[in-house]
Amino acid sequence: MKKILFLVLFSIISISSKAQSVCDIGVTTQITHDVNGVYSVPAAIGYSYFWSVTGNISILSGQGTNSVTVDTSASCEQVSGSIYVTVYKDGVAPCCNEISINIADNCGSEGCGVEVTYIQDLNEWGDGTVSFHAVTNFNTGSTYHSSSFTFTFQNGDVITHLGAINPTHGYPQVIIPVAETNRVLKVCVSVVASFPGTPKPTLCLSEPLCKTFSHGVYGTSNIFNGFGKIKNPIKNILNVNLNDEKQAEVLIYDYSGNLKKKTKVVKGGNIDVSDLKNGLYIVKLTSMDGLVETKKIQIQR
């Protein structure tokens, strides 16, 4: 049997997954989950799905499909139990899989050693995509294992993407296409940390951090003419050229999300950044009618 450790929703959660040893169904039954309590197996045409649970866990929706939403919010009680799925098709031996969940009492918990402190969006690419990264703090002894980004779109869709570490700044990140006609209104991020253990490491899921966008975020093709043509690195002066905008607010953040400079430009202009230390920064421009463009700059002298 194959055992896998996971962490779900609150404090420290241990999850084991095991599959039927003899399985002729021809499709994978690996159960995955996201920060919203949605458990899924890959969809396959012609197959049926039956889910069941034990302990103080309940199925909220999705029975009969390849994905169910479960409720593990037992107030301050210990949450434990299992989620089972059986995938079957006429004439083929069924396959089963199971995830066992053990969620520690969340009341008064000191956390599990990983914390998402800030979410940054960047639509600097000019190709209709937006990147999102999560500034994350790990306790001593813990390391990054995985992450998930759950997006709420303007049309009501809620979609989860798995993150990956950006080798430049070392934070979990996703890059997704976002149309102006269907903007991202909200993103929630959770990160799983790994702790050394025997025989297997312990995994721990952070509390989700969410960020909402009043005007929505979408990929751009350089709202502000010339700003998309910044040449890195920058020494002491950041030049901003506005297209049809008369005025824009300029915010400069470090990669931990700390605001380092705030100013306004009229028809464009130069911004003195000589007081900022060498490193990577996020520049966010907001026009008078709420259009937003974010860029990454590197200050190096």
Q: Are residues 125 and 211 in the same domain?
A: yes
Instruction: Report yes or no on 199 lying in a domain.
Output: no
For the stretch 146-165, pLDDT in tens is 889 999 999 988 888 888 99
Q: Is the peptide bond before 199 cis (omega within 30 degrees of 0)?
A: yes
Chain centroid to CA 269: 35
Same-domain pairing of 247 and 289:
yes
CATH, residue 46:
2.60.40
Per-residue pLDDT of the chain (301 residues; tens, 9 = 90+): 333 333 333 333 333 334 433 344 445 556 776 656 788 888 878 888 888 887 777 888 888 888 888 876 544 455 566 788 888 777 776 777 776 655 544 443 345 678 898 898 887 656 678 889 999 988 888 888 888 999 999 998 888 888 899 888 889 999 898 888 899 999 999 888 887 766 667 777 788 889 998 888 888 655 444 444 566 788 898 887 776 656 788 888 887 778 889 888 887 678 899 999 998 888 887 777 667 777 778 888 8
Q: How many degrees, rounded to 5, is the angle at CA 42 between CA 172 and CA 65?
A: 120
Same domain, 175 and 154: yes
Q: Does 135 reside within a domain?
A: yes
Return the closest-CA partner of residue 213 out of 184, 188, 189. 184
Same domain, 98 and 141: no
Which residues face 134 on adjacent strands?
119
Q: Looking at the structure, do residues 123 and 211 belong to the same domain, yes or no?
A: yes
Contacts of 266 (CB under 8 A, 6+ apart): 246, 247
**DSSP class of residue 207?**
P
Domain stops at, among 33, 68, 103 = 103
Q: Within this chain, do residues 126 and 213 fall inside the same structural domain, yes or no?
A: yes
Does residue 159 sit within a domain?
Answer: yes
Rounded to an integer, what distance in angstroms lies between the CA atom of residue 221 and that of residue 218?
Answer: 10
Query: Is 38 a member of any domain?
Result: yes
Tell me if 1 is assigned to some domain: no
Residue 291 lies in a domain: yes
Please tell me whether residues 35 and 119 are part of one structural domain: no
Q: Is 109 contained in some domain?
A: no
**Quick count: other Cβ atoms within 10 Å of Cβ 287?**
18
Is 201 inside any structural domain?
no
**Domain membership of residue 22 as a residue range:** 13-103
95, 129: one domain: no
Give the pLDDT confidence of 209-247 residue by residue, as tens digits: 899 988 888 886 554 444 445 667 888 988 877 766 567
